Structure 1
Amino acid sequence: MQSILPETNSNENQTNFQIGNFLKRYHVSRLLRQSNFDKEKGFSCFHIFRFIFILVFTGKNLYRFLHMNHAIDQPEKDTIYRFLNSTRYNWRKFLLTLSTLIIKETVSLLTSAERVKVLIFDDSLFSRNRSKAVELLAKVYDHTEKRYMRGFRMLTLGWSDGNTFLPLSFSLLSSENEKNRLNGINSLIDKRTNGFKLRKESMKKTTEVMFELLDQLAPYGAQADYLLFDSWYAFPKVILNVMERNLHVICMLKAMPKVFYQYVGKSMNLTGLYNYIYKKPGRARILASVIVELGKDMQGQPVKVKIVFVRDRNRSRKWLALLSTDTALSDEEIIRIYGKRWDIEVFFKMSKSYLKLAKEFQGRSYDSMVAHTTIVFCRYIMLALESRNSRDLRTIGNLFYTCCDELQDISFVTALFLLFDLLKEALREHLSLSGQKLEEFISQFISSLPSFFKDRLQLSVCES
């Protein structure tokens, strides 16, 4: 009778090798030191980081792993939580440095200069619904469940070339309204630390934090052509502020009655504009497009944008509207580029369902949640690279790089298909993702990973 232990050990060894190779190739130990990670005593910060990083791939939670393994080089529970609760470590700088390093040294080499690269902004619920004593815990409205829940809004900035999505930065937002905050800041926190700065940031307006994340990204040199976001942030003031940072915007629009656009000398809201312009006859997917004035820039000059109206196949006699500040783009190209925004939805689903975001540790401090979220993002980055390496023959070597074509960018048809499935409702409060389509994308992503990662991820889901 053949034992299953050799195969299990082989998979574990292969997993450890791949993780070790990732951490070594991108100098994670050095990046941690550059981000103010230094040990007080005992295990190094890199050693503890690696231990937490690999935990999800073992298929065990922290309690089970510590009680089933008694290695000499294994940190204890208190050591791990001291690491997560530290206020001195600069987790945001670490994630930004790691992501931009990977973009420059790996992904950009596989992507032609002509391909459109985008930044993507979106937020997702960071649920702590069963918690009571978590620092800065707030009541947050969940647009999927249509009710308030306890937790945070995880505002995330990511980068994509159409094939690989990499998270760059995030902020766990509590609430700017003091009435919605269930707990305040720990009074013992040193106000000079990175942890205190993140706490203060969590109580600011979403759009204010959005621009802070964009400004912090500038010194790291992550090149992008457009910023994508949904209708939740699509206000003229926000769009104009992004343009002042020399970045074009492509976003979904919401039919707000008090937001007006200037067209042929008239001021109209989005619904009035749609009713005024000529639409294509028949069952055309693109109903109409028009160039309007959104407002004025800092020099007082009018800012022109292009609005594309698309038929919503999920609702009869309804439409969706996309805005682009780059008026030279064709209607089809605007829709195709906006289709890249689906990447961040897949990222949220992957992080929550497979990588144990907000589930692996139940710490009460704000620092522990920021630390663990950063580690989960790093896990996704490694898996995204493994997926890219398994599909892109140009990663094999110079001969294959010369002979093989670049991976195909997202097509117009695919972008339109994703657009309809992602945006079932024009208003943010009616947004609901198709479970079947979401599972298809996740299954496709998982199926493209090496077998040992697929096995580990499936095992982890079963036991969680």
Structure 2
Amino acid sequence: MFIVPSEAGNKQEISNSISRFIHAFKVGSLLKKCNCKKEKGIPFMKLFTYILCNVFRDRSMYMQKKTGSFREDFSRNTYYRFLRSARSNSFIPINFSLLASSKEENILGEVKSYDRRSLAGKRRIMAQRKGTDVMIQLIDEAMKAGHKAGYVLFDSWFSNPHQIVEPKDKGLDTIAMVKISSRISYEFNGERRNIKQIYNSCKKRRGRSRYLLSVPVRVGQDKKDGHSVDAGIVCVRNRINRKDWLALVCTDMSLREEDIIRIYGKRWDIEVFFKTCKSFLNLGSEYHGLSYDALTAHVALVFTGYMLMSVAKRDDEDERTLGELFYFMVDEAADITFSQSMKILPDAMPASIRTVFQASEEQINTFMNDFISRLPEYMQKSLPADTAA
């Protein structure tokens, strides 16, 4: 267990926490697999650790040099060369891609040529593809790296039929927010209809139901998407505007409507993730250069910092990391709490009666005998043996 210190001035404790994180999860070995290694001079892990420490010290290299607190044995040029390195990739939780324009008039700065087989070249090729195609490529790379998932969750920006059909072909079910558009149609009762037509043609559930409508459809067309897949559409009320509605599509026909809504709710975690990265880890504000490789390195370092925070929070606050011992502990704690309460009750109640009503011992005993006799049998058995009944 380790804690990321909250005091920005405690440099040594911050460094020790990050070092334990790197050692525990073998970050160095993972970075080597991404071709992150030194060619000469300062060790790679020293620069990597220094940049992570800066995130939690809330003090940039510029401010350290300005205040005279910079004590590292490498120069500013070494620091920026590390961020600009085009021959290395950076360790990240799953994967990400910074999209860029393929039009020359929209490109700022000098355009360098890279070997298309290198990591830098592949990153640039991916950055200039459509975002919906990049999503499929990122899923492929995550699966090849050994990651497993039951569902792919995404919002309406990605929920075109093609993006719903393709993950299904890879063995992954999709739960997505349906794009409310008249241009996207689904096969419903043998006809092609858009989501508005489907919603208006069906009877809605009344009362306090968690959803308004649930219907089976087929998503995709043979000409555009190769084939179609079975899916279910669940319509729910919009929390912001109760007169409005939202629609979810799921390709797992065995899921209940309540489970579809619950699982899709997990997608909100990514919104919290981005908010945390922007507000606390300086995503997009710490580096303002035009180098695509430097921006990629900046985002990767921010994401690594978020990983460190998540692991620290889980180890420090979440008792579920104890495994099965957690459940035994919780059950035992509940029994102890009940037992202690039943021991306190026979002592606290007579004392209050004696103080407030000035009752005699005989009156108090009569009251307690009557009170205990009215308790359920299991509560009477939980009282101390010397308590009057």
- Give the shorter-chain TM-score range: 0.7 to 0.9
> How far apart are the structure 1 equivalents of 2:217 and 2:105?
38
Shift of 1:282: 3.9
Please give the per-residue CA displacement for 1:51-108, whole angstroms capped at 9, x wherever unaligned. 111102112122112342242x4322100111111111022xx32xxx3xxxxxxxxx
1:274-305 CA-to-partner distances (Å, cap 9, x unmatched) read 00111112454411111111136799875211
Q: How does 1:305-320 map to 2 (within 5 A)?
A: 305-320=231-246
Using the alignment, how far apart are the partners of 2:312 and 2:70 within structure 1?
30
Matched ranges for 1:198-237 at <5 A: 198-237=123-162
Kindly report which structure 2 residues correspond to 1:91-106, keeping only aligned pairs within 5 A, or say none: 91=90, 94-95=91-92, 99=93
Shift of 1:194: 1.6
Unaligned residue ranges in structure 1 (runs of 5+): 1-6, 100-167, 406-464
CA contact (8 A) 2:8 2:56 kept: no
2:8–2:58 contact (8 Å) kept in structure 1: no
Q: 1:378 aligns with which of 294, 304, 309?
A: 304
Question: In structure 2, the residue corresponding to 1:293 is in which secondary structure?
Answer: strand
Report the secondary structure of 1:368's partner residue: helix
Higher RCO (CA 8 Å, separation ≥ 6 residues)? 1
* 2:24 matched residue in structure 1: 25
Gaps of 5+ in 2: 1-5, 332-389
Q: Distance in 1 between matches of 2:239 and 2:285?
A: 36
Query: Distance in 2 between the 1:301 and 1:362 partners?
Result: 45
- Deviations 1:301-359 (CA, angstroms, capped at 9, x unpaired): 75211100101132243110001101111111100000000100001011111101122
From the superposition, tell whether residues 10 and 82 of structure 1 become closer, same or farther in structure 2 (CA, over 3 Å).
closer
1:442 maps to what in 2?
none
Q: Is 1:332 the equivalent of 2:258? A: yes
1:461 matched residue in structure 2: none
Sort the Cα spacing of 1:361 and 1:10 in 2 relative to 1 into closer, same or farther, 3 A.
closer
Aligned equivalent of 1:35: 34
1:111 is aligned to: none
Alignment CA distance shift 1:18-1:318 (3 Å): same
The 3 A distance-change label for structure 1 pair 306 and 222 is: same
Residue aligning to 1:66? 65
Pick the structure with more strand per residue.
Answer: 1
Provide the aligned length of Structure 1 versus Structure 2.
324
- Conserved 8 A contact 1:292-1:306: yes
Q: CA separation in 2, counterparts of 1:302 and 1:373?
A: 37
Moved more, 311-320 or 77-86: 311-320
For residue 276 of structure 2, give the secondary structure of its aligned residue in structure 1.
Answer: helix
Name the CA distance, whole Å, in 2 between partners of 1:313 and 1:357.
30
1:322 equivalent among 235, 245, 248 = 248
Q: How far apart are the structure 2 equivalents of 1:251 and 1:39?
A: 43
Deviates more, 1:79-88 or 1:193-202: 193-202
SS of corresponding position for 2:254: coil
Task: Give a deviation string over 1:172-224, Cα, whole Å, max 9, x none.
Answer: 00124x17723376235455532122112211111111111111112222121
TM-score (norm 1): 0.65
Which residue of 357, 360, 368 maps to 2:283? 357
Which shifted more, 267-276 or 24-33?
Answer: 24-33
Distance 1:396 1:180, change over 3 A: farther
Give 1 or 2 for the bigger CA radius of gyration.
Answer: 2
List aligned pairs for 1:204-283, cutoff 5 A.
204-282=129-207
State the AA in 2 paired with 1:382.
L
Aligned-partner SS, 1:286: coil
Question: SS in structure 2 opposite 1:359?
Answer: coil
Residues 242 and 248, structure 1, Cα contact 8 Å, conserved in 2: yes
2:295 aligned residue? 369
Aligned partners of 1:174 and 1:202 also within 8 Å: yes
User: Relative to 1, partners in 2 of residues 1:361 and 1:258: Cα closer, same or farther, differing over 3 Å?
Assistant: closer
Task: Say if 1:366 and 1:291 are closer, same or farther in 2 by CA, change over 3 A.
Answer: same
The CA deviation at 1:22 is 0.2
Which residue in the other structure is 2:344 paired with? none
State how far apart, in whole Å, the 2-side matches of 1:387 and 1:14 are: 16
Give the conservation status (yes or no) of the 8 Å contact 1:66–1:76.
Answer: no
- Out of 73-82 and 226-235, give the one that drifted further: 73-82
- Report the 3-state secondary structure (helix = DSSP H, G, I; strand = E; otherwise coil) of the residue aligned with 1:322: strand
Shift of 1:400: 4.1
- 1:14 is aligned with what amino acid? E
The root-mean-square deviation of aligned C-alpha atoms, in Å, is: 2.5
Report the Cα distance in structure 1 between the residues aligned to 2:204 and 2:104, rounded to whole angstroms. 47
Q: 1:344 aligns with which of 270, 289, 292?
A: 270
Q: Describe how 1:36-185 pairs up with structure 2 within 5 A.
A: 36-67=35-66, 68-71=68-71, 73-91=72-90, 94-95=91-92, 99=93, 168-176=94-102, 178=103, 181-183=106-108
* DSSP-derived class of the 1:307 partner: strand
Please give the alpha-carbon distance, in whole angstroms, between the structure 2 residues aligned to 1:225 and 1:263.
26
Q: CA deviation at 1:42?
A: 1.5
Q: Shift of the alpha carbon at 1:256?
A: 1.1
Aligned to 2:384: none
Find the partner of 2:214 among 279, 289, 295: 289
- Residue 304 of structure 1 pairs with residue 255 of structure 2: no
Matched residue of 1:83: which SS? helix
CA–CA separation in structure 1 for the residues paired with 2:208 and 2:324: 48
Q: Letter of the aligned partner of 2:300 in structure 1?
A: T
2:121 is aligned to 196
What pairs with 1:408-447 in structure 2 (closer than 5 Å)? none
